[in-house]
A and B are shown apart, each in its own frame.
Chain A
Amino acid sequence: MNTITCNTCGHLNKEGTTICEKCGNPLDNDQKGKLLNMRYDGSSIRSKTKNRSIIDKIWNFFSSVKIGVTLIAIALVASALGTIYPQQMYIPRSVDPSVHYRDQYGITGQIYYQLGFHNLYGSWWYMILIALIGISIFIVSIDRGVPLYKALKHQAVKRHPNFLKRQKLFGEYKDYSVDEKKLLISKLKENRYKIAEKDGHILAEKGRFSRWGPYVNHLGLIIFLLGTIFRFVPFMYIDDYVWVREGETTVIPSTNQEYYIENQEFIFETYGEDEEDAVFEEALQNNSGPVPKHFETNAVIYQDVSDDIVGTEAELEEIKRGEIIVNEPLKINGLALYQDSYQLSEFESMSFKLHETTDEEEEAIVEFTVDLTDPKREYKFENGYRIELNKYYPEYELDDGQPRSISNYPRNPGFVFFVYGPDIEEQEASFLAIGQNIPSGDNQYKIGLTDFSVRDVSGLKVRKDLTLPILGLGAFIFMIGVIQGMYWQHRRIWIHQGDEKLLIACHTNKNWYGLTKEIEKVIEGTSFKMVEDQENKQKQD
């Protein structure tokens, strides 16, 4: 490492140092007369030393504040671009994004899609950008924070007169008494300055801890970023969804088939049911449909205690039961189930009767109920009739003239029944669906719907977030750093005892106005004149 020798005291300073570590003489001889740059207290910034290995080069890249600011600027612009059109997760699920953006927003929409901005915040390059900012903050903090800490910890009390002369606030005093100097020091003490003395030279300092504010702030930011990374660990973060039908028990996703939930009852209330809702009457009339007031799931949570392999009948042990209401989740082991959505009135069972086609009274020959959760193939009766459920479509739709089901759920069930009986030669078929009853031909018997039962489906959010305390801690430390750096200032006053003259110089990292006011207060009652603002003087000259 190269060194710079101080030509006043002969101390060897690290390359890049601008103010001698020992005596405080400025080392930038070519800049005489100008005010000193007090950044990092003139200490050598680690990365400003010569590049040696590839590691040093990478380190120096990230330790550059310019690079950091550029990365933040790019991230800012990219984040803004992502808000021009909706992200992919907010467009309807049923549409093809490549078509949707073009149709909705024209040519710009298509460009937006093709550049991948429709999924910007989850894209690899955006993540890398944010991570690079994190790395930059971390390295910059080490690179600047450590030398600054060392420089301030080992700062010399006695500084070279040139150091004092090149401070912004500076004063020279010839006629003063020793008592007055003492009074000045005691007044500094009154203003909570810490006084260090060496051979008559004084350093009065306060609020040094405010200089650590930015680094504490960065630490908080890094903890916050780490917290967001922990979201990718399934143990720390779960965001899933489960639909559970009334009366059914189903596995809770993302729990390795350990927990099951039973929906015992789904309660749904709308406005207008109670007398006290009369005040809303007008508003309700303007609304086309019923307005939900309250919905909740009465749920039981079970744990599967068997060690059998997946798919075998679970041995369920009840561990918790209760209501799940909006904003009032049911919690087990940090896993919370939130009431999120519902589907009302899905068919659960349907009842039919068989009667003669010509019978106007439609007197039932046989009656039977099809359980839509587990329909039986055959329904046999003692009077010799037999009904076969030949085809069943839970959510029936015609597709090119062929009936098929488009989902698992009995939202619009369709049936093909075969009727066998003592007076039927082979069989009679008929197709039934909501509002449809189609016989296969000239049928002697007809099946009619007599009754049905429905049930509700509850949609529950499955959430677990152990990263919240980490995010909270990060944000808290961040705030402490901001307060520390913003509400306090690092103020220093050097008093140099010359042979005849007394030199006084003052420095603060911010709020010069406050420092000036404080000094006015300190010199009040002494014969010391106010220190001069050399920066203003230079400007006026």
Chain B
Amino acid sequence: MNKIEKAKQTKKNKKRNRLIFRSSILIILFAALLFAVVSNLTAEEDAVVNIGDQAPNFQLKQVATNNETAMKLSDLEGKGVMLNFWATYCEPCEREMPYMEQLYPEYKEKGVEIVAVSVDATEIVIDNFVDQYNLSFPILHDKKSQVLDAYGIRPLPTTYFIDENGVVVERVLGELTLERLEGYLKQIEPK
């Protein structure tokens, strides 16, 4: 190999090394940037369980119905689950409850279960509420706010729509209308 070829070869190598060096540094820096921005935006939403996540399993006591046994989320595998976090003192929750009751029988037939987790401090207020609205779907009592904490719930109501495999399909912060509710319930009908 003559001198010129050698020089060309080293130049080529240098060029390649420089490209690799610069690319890797830029990739690392932009990855850090992306991480910071994405984390910041998701932190604002303040929820731990997001769309696409596996819904964390939990077990809570059923209240206000004749069946006072504990219910596990995993018991409902194979069914679509609408998981509604609510409280009796929350007015938007109160407004959407009748819609849930209205659609419950139809969608129960189709394999969708509605589960309402109340974060009220006392059972008596839940009992009164369920009586007042004649609710027939299972009501669970999260007295110690453990499930609330596990799901990272901030505003009430927050509703999760979970498919038959336990994957969160939709998460709704705030009140639902009848039309929207029905749309989401259709999404989680088991195939």
Contacts and interface: CB of A to CB of B under 8 A. Distances in A.
Interface of A: 1, 52-53, 55-56, 58-59, 122, 124, 127-128, 131-132, 134-135, 138-139, 142, 226, 229, 232-233, 250-251, 253, 256-257, 308-312, 314, 372-377, 389-395, 404-409
Interface stretch (B102-110, B140-148, B163-171, B181-189): B140-148
A124 B42 CA distance: 11
Contact of B59 (A128, A139, A233, A310): A310
A56 B26 CA distance: 10
A312 B95 CA distance: 30
A391 B25 contact: no
A232 B40 contact: yes
* SS class, residues of chain B in contact with chain A: helix
17 contacts: A53-B19, A55-B26, A127-B40, A139-B29, A250-B145, A253-B149, A257-B149, A310-B57, A310-B58, A389-B124, A391-B128, A392-B124, A394-B89, A394-B121, A404-B89, A405-B88, A405-B125
B35 A229 contact: yes
A124 B33 CA distance: 11
Interface in B1-57: 11, 14-15, 19, 22-23, 25-26, 29-30, 32-33, 35-37, 39-41, 43-44, 56-57
B124 A377 contact: yes
Nearest to B140: A311
Contact of B36 (A53, A232, A251, A377): A232
A392 B128 contact: yes
Contacts of A377: 124, 127
A494 to B, nearest CB: 31
Contacts of A404: 89
A404 B127 CA distance: 14
Given A131-B32, A229-B32, A408 B37 contact: no
A373 B124 CA distance: 10
Contact of A408 (B30, B44, B120): B120
Interface in B67-102: 70, 72, 74, 87-89
Interface residues of B, number: 47
B122 interface: yes
Given A229-B36, A253-B149, A406 B124 contact: no
B22 A59 contact: yes
A233 B70 CA distance: 35
A124 B142 contact: no
Contacts of B33: 128, 131-132, 134-135
Most A CB atoms within 10 A — which of B25, B36, B144, B150?
Answer: B36
B119 interface: yes
B43 A232 contact: yes
B130 interface: no
B25 A142 contact: yes
A395 B125 CA distance: 12
Q: Which of B11, B30, B150 has the most CB of A within 10 A?
A: B150
Given A232-B40, A309-B58, A408 B26 contact: no
B60 interface: yes
- Most A CB contacts (10 A, CB to CB) among B14, B87, B88, B149 go to B149
B21 to A, nearest CB: 9
Given A134-B33, A309-B59, A310-B58, 12 more contacts: A59-B26, A122-B40, A122-B44, A138-B25, A229-B36, A310-B59, A314-B144, A372-B122, A391-B128, A392-B125, A394-B121, A408-B89
Given A58-B26, A138-B29, A310-B57, A131 B149 contact: no
Interface in B153-174: none
Contact of B25 (A122, A128, A139): A139
A406 to B, nearest CB: 6
A229 B43 CA distance: 13
A135 B44 CA distance: 25
A347 to B, nearest CB: 12
A407 B91 CA distance: 10
B35 A394 contact: no
Contacts of A131: 32-33, 36-37
Contacts of B119: 408
A116 to B, nearest CB: 13
Contacts of B147: 310-311
Contact of A1 (B11, B56, B123): B11
Contacts of A392: 122, 124-125, 128
A408 B90 CA distance: 10
A250 B124 contact: no
A149 to B, nearest CB: 16
A156 B144 CA distance: 75
Nearest to B30: A135
Contacts of A139: 25, 29
A406 B87 CA distance: 10
A257 B122 contact: no
A389 B123 CA distance: 12
The 7 closest A-B pairs by CB, nearest first: A232-B39, A310-B58, A131-B33, A311-B58, A311-B60, A310-B150, A405-B89
A243 to B, nearest CB: 10
Most buried by A among B11, B15, B119, B125: B125
A392 B35 CA distance: 48
Contact of B149 (A232, A251, A372): A251
